[in-house]
Amino acid sequence: MTDFSALKLKNSASGLMFCCLILGLSAFLYSCGGGNTGDLIGARDRGRWLETTPYGMVYIKQGTFLYGQGDQDILFNMNSPLKNVTMRPFYMDDAEISNAEYRQFINWVRDSIAHTILGNTVEDEDGNEYINWKARINWNDPAVIEELEDLFLPENQRVFGRKEWNTPRFVYNFKAYDYQSAASAQGKRNRNEFIEARSVNIYPDTLVWTKDMAYAYNEPQTQLYFSHPAYYDYPVVGVSWNQATAFCDWRTRLLASFRQSKRLALQFPFRLPTEVEWEYAARGGRMSSPYPWGGPSLRNERGCLLANFKPGRGNYIDDGVTYTAMTYSFNPNDYGLYNMSGNVAEWTSSTFDESASSFLGDLNPDYRYNAKSEDPAYLKRKVIRGGSWKDVGYYLMNGTRAYDFQDSSRSTIGFRCVMDFTGRDIRDIR
């Protein structure tokens, strides 16, 4: 009696082996230049592609939510009416940028200036000059220090004779492309007309602690908040919108340099969030709640405050801290984001306009204006969100809008970055 199941299995195995031989031969012929059959097979130069969640960020899934102030508008601003909008997915820092993270930026700029002065540069085959980061700077060598003397304050400006950095020298140069203006021109102007070169002094204004509060003793914060290791895990403050934008560009270069060294495709650049992105992320999926943790109260069932702000009639320490808290203090929202309310208010990329909601669309809405130094002050207003350690509870609400000027810095304003998600949003497919 014939065992048809075994025969069938044998025939299947033979057929599979035949198919593998044919496929292998096809691949061999294609690799030898014989694969051009006249068919549309797509480009073969795509290279390696790997989507990774940037370090310190969380994924914010796509979705639709009710944007605006659905809760109390006690100031009767009426500048954020309810609007149904849809958001594309993106990554967001799970906490505010800390002093230590911002110091990495400053150290990079400082060292790049030092390398340039010392001549630690190399040229590529096209004649472009780059910093040779493999070279070491011996900051203990008197000859090196003498050559880098301009990076330090002159003796008549030093306090207690300490050698201190000449921070006005810490300037970051970068270029930005204005996509909106380029789109408006419809190809009638040269591309280089929309490339803007920017130079930004990046050192935080440490005097904000003294300037922001008149008739108050806050010199200890001015002296040590940014420089002392005890505060490294606290949010950076005294950073203007311009400086925060420069930080995003540097962070983009830092990651791009690494990915290029590994021959990986680049990811989207880091940037400040739009104000609608910020609100969408702050809500954490709780679309009708006044605060990132839900609500309606600023306290939990045990009576503990859920954020760092100014409760009551100025009892600053009722939440456990006097000024700012560490970036990972208090509980995160349902997206895993810390301090979306309180601690420090946060810069967004959006330009502030009282009536913006009335003319914005409903798909990834945003209003931006690239203000020049000569523009009037009202065009330099940038949206800040979340409220700070010095604000009352109203400013902690998800829908509350506020603003400051792009060239201003405060002891109450910091920032965090976002990055667009690359490719298909497979994480939300069920």
Summarised one tens digit per residue, pLDDT across range 113-171 is 999 999 999 987 777 888 999 999 999 999 999 999 999 999 888 887 788 999 999 99
Does the pLDDT of residue 93 top 80, yes or no? yes
The mean per-residue pLDDT over the stretch 269-285 comes to 97
Which domains are seen in the chain, by residue range? Answer: 64-98+207-428 (3.90.1580.10)
Q: pLDDT digit string (tens) for 215-233?
A: 999 999 999 999 999 999 9
Residue 344 — very low, low, confident or very high, per pLDDT cuts 50/70/90? very high
**Predicted TM-score (pTM) of this structure:** 0.87
Instruction: Report pLDDT for 223.
Output: 93
Instruction: Report pLDDT for 48.
Output: 65
Does the pLDDT of residue 336 top 60, yes or no? yes
Instruction: Report pLDDT for 47.
Output: 65
Instruction: Report pLDDT for 428.
Output: 53
Instruction: Report pLDDT for 310.
Output: 96
Does the pLDDT of residue 259 top 80, yes or no? yes
The mean per-residue pLDDT over the stretch 278-299 comes to 92
Instruction: Report pLDDT for 72.
Output: 62
The rounded percent of the chain whose pLDDT value lies above 70 is 86
Instruction: Report pLDDT for 256.
Output: 94
Instruction: Report pLDDT for 36.
Output: 76
Does the pLDDT of residue 15 top 50, yes or no? no
Instruction: Report pLDDT for 82.
Output: 80
Q: What is the mean pLDDT of the chain?
A: 87
Residue 424 — very low, low, confident or very high, per pLDDT cuts 50/70/90? low
Instruction: Report pLDDT for 41.
Output: 83
- Alpha-carbon distance 249 to 235, whole Å? 19
Instruction: Report pLDDT for 75.
Output: 57
Does the pLDDT of residue 5 top 70, yes or no? no
